[in-house]
Amino acid sequence: MADKKIIEVNGLSATFGEREVLRDVSFSAYQGEVTVILGESGSGKTTVLKHLLGLYDIQEGYVSILDNDISDLNEEEQKDLYLKMGVFYQNGGLLNSLTVGENVSLPLEQHTHLDDDLIRRIVLTKLQLMHLNGVYDMFPSQLSGGMLKRAALARAMVMDPPLLFCDEPGAGLDPISLASLDKLILNLRKELGMSIVIITHEVSSILRIADRIVFIDEGKIIFTGKIKDALESKNKEVHDFFHI
């Protein structure tokens, strides 16, 4: 399973105004793995994520996701691809005017022809998987920080996408809530066979969940490989990140 590439980035470069943000970025993510993209603030990791999500046009280089060259897709093909990608945003991204159940239901209502009863049952199942029994009719403002993250994760995976992107999922969580969220993410990989790409700088989280590391510094890759190799790396930035 781990031999199959689900993401391939080759020579990705990006310039905004006078600033070169990405320089010849190349890496791969593999099926069934948790790939962590990390780096200091301003390193370019979020810019890489936005290219993967199609939020930025590719200026130079090649990006393939689930065997699709994203630069060559027409509008309908893009839609089909993005429906296979779940996205878990840093702030949760839930709509405060809707209940938790209504928030999680949105992708199913917008992109399927399932009836309301089946949608409700699917959503209740996903919330239960996230250990969120009894919150269907609650509003996001009534949830704790950890519960809010889990509700957002339920929405991101409600359509069972094979590929899940997580943008700083542990931001703002206490250590216990962070560890609980990490456990849920690993469970998604195990039980649903998801491949997961995570942007994070939380060392404790990376050590728990990462199979593979992509380390970006000042817009370029300084390390890509297995977590065990990252921990033994002689590169100063990589060593200092994990050992200081």
Chain segment 92-101, per-residue pLDDT in tens: 789 999 999 9
How sure is the predictor about 225, in pLDDT bands with cuts at 50, 70 and 90? very high
Q: For domain 1-84+163-180+193-244, give the CATH number.
A: 3.40.50.300
Lowest mean pLDDT across 91-95, 99-103, 236-240? 91-95
Q: Is the pTM of this model over 0.85?
A: yes
Give the mean pLDDT of 122-142. Answer: 94
Q: Is residue 89's pLDDT more than 90? A: no
User: What pLDDT, in 10s, does the model give residues 188-218?
Assistant: 888 888 999 999 988 999 999 999 999 999 9
36-240-181-218 Cα dihedral, nearest 10 degrees:
-40
